[in-house]
């Protein structure tokens, strides 16, 4: 990365200052982008996740020849430009179908990433309830996330991804969105003899205060 540009105007100076590190940080912005090839299912799944995080996300439209596990330089560049520190990269290739990579950066460099295969997904239109926008979700994790290093990373990244903005106080009335992330270990073995990776179910729910009813509105199985 070249030397940081020096601002010549006051406005530029303020813009650069806002991007600097601060003692109490703002919400982490998420970058939604496509890899070399995508299909509609992956795009729609990403849109659903984007809807949950609209106020603190940027969605790029073009496809990018980015393979983060091989070389993350161009990804880090895009993150820096859009001032994001979380990313969701969607891909669909023959060898890795319906691929989603979640990751985050620290100080401009990739910190950790986790790759998932989307095995089931239903868009929110399928359900009768519509989610209100820009709600701070309550998040619940179910299952043993400490069994493998990938799951430990996943838990941390998903917490970060789903939590959006931190608040120091919140109205009870606005606690209407619950996202549950459940991990279910698989007993099946793959063709190469290894145990199939566990399945993660991400389910957002609308919480009603009366009657304790929770209505699912969209699901993505990872």
Partner 1 sequence: MSVSASEILKAQAAKRQSSAIPERTDDLDYDIGNLIAYDSHPLLRKKGESMEDSLNASSLELGQFLLSKLIALPAVPTPIGVTVRIPVSNALPREKPVPRAKPKSRWEEFAQEKGIQRDRKRERQVYDEKSGEWKERWGKNRRTDNTQEFDPVIVAKAGVNDFEGAPDPFQAERKAKKDRVKKNKSQQIANERRAKRTKHDDWKSR
User: Footprint of partner 1 on residues 95-114 (CB under 8 A)?
Assistant: 104-109, 111
Decide: is 32 part of the binding site for partner 1 (CB under 8 A): no
Are 179 and 53 in contact, with CB atoms under 8 Å apart? Answer: no
Query: What are the structure tokens assigned to 118, written together?
Result: 């989307």
DSSP H or E segment with residue 150: helix 149-163
**# binding residues, partner 1 (CB under 8 A):** 59
108: left (phi over 0), alpha (psi -120 to 50) or beta: left
Q: What residues pair up with 116 in beta bridges, in sequence order?
A: 100
Count of Cβ atoms closer than 10 Å to residue 19 Cβ: 10
DSSP 8-class letter at 147: S
Helix (H, G, I), strand (E, B) or coil at 70: coil
Decide: is 205 part of the binding site for partner 1 (CB under 8 A): yes
Q: Which residue has the tokens 């549950």?
A: 180
Decide: is 16 part of the binding site for partner 1 (CB under 8 A): no
| Residue 162 CB, nearest approach to partner 1 (Å) | 8
Q: Between residues 96 and 170, which has the closer beta carbon with respect to partner 1?
A: 170
Q: Between residues 67 and 180, which has the closer beta carbon with respect to partner 1?
A: 180
Q: By CB under 8 A, which span of 33-41, 62-70, 151-159, 189-197 interacts with partner 1?
A: 151-159
Q: By CB under 8 A, which span of 8-16, 36-44, 92-100, 155-163 interacts with partner 1?
A: 155-163
Q: What residues pair up with 101 in beta bridges, in sequence order?
A: 89, 115
Q: By CB under 8 A, which span of 8-16, 22-30, 36-44, 59-67 interacts with partner 1?
A: 22-30
Give DSSP secondary structure letters for 125-138: GGSS--PPSSPPPE
Q: Between residues 91 and 198, which has the closer beta carbon with respect to partner 1?
A: 198
Q: What residues pair up with 31 in beta bridges, in sequence order?
A: 58, 87
Q: Between residues 27 and 37, which has the closer beta carbon with respect to partner 1?
A: 27
User: Footprint of partner 1 on residues 129-148 (CB under 8 A)?
Assistant: 129, 136-146
Are 57 and 32 in contact, with CB atoms under 8 Å apart? Answer: yes
Task: Compute the distance between CA of residue 119 and CA of residue 97 in angstroms, rounded to an integer.
Answer: 9
Binding residues for partner 1, rule: CB under 8 A, are: 1, 20-23, 25, 28, 85, 104-109, 111, 127-129, 136-146, 155-156, 159-160, 163, 166-173, 175, 178, 180, 182, 184-185, 201, 203, 205, 207, 211-216, 219
């Amino acid at each position: 990365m070249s030397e940081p540009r020096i601002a010549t105007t006051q406005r530029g100076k303020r813009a650069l200052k806002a991007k600097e590190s601060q003692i109490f940080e703002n919400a982490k912005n998420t970058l939604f982008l496509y890899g070399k090839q995508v299909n509609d299912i992956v795009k729609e799944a990403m849109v659903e996740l984007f809807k949950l995080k609209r106020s603190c996300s940027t969605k790029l439209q073009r496809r990018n020849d980015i393979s983060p596990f091989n070389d993350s330089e161009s990804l880090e560049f895009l993150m820096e430009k859009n001032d994001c520190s979380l990313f969701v990269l969607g891909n669909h290739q023959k060898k890795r179908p319906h691929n989603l990579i979640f990751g985050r950066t620290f100080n401009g460099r990739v910190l950790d990433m986790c790759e998932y295969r989307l095995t089931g997904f239903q868009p929110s239109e399928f359900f009768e309830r519509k989610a209100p926008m820009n709600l701070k979700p309550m998040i619940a994790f179910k299952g043993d996330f400490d069994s493998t290093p990938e799951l430990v990373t996943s838990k941390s990244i998903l917490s970060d991804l789903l939590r959006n903005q931190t608040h120091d106080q919140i109205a009870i009335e606005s606690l209407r969105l619950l996202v549950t992330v459940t991990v279910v270990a698989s007993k099946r073995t793959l063709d190469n003899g290894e145990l199939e990776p566990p399945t993660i179910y991400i389910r957002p729910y609308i919480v009603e205060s009366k009657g304790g009813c929770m209505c699912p509105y969209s699901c993505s199985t990872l």
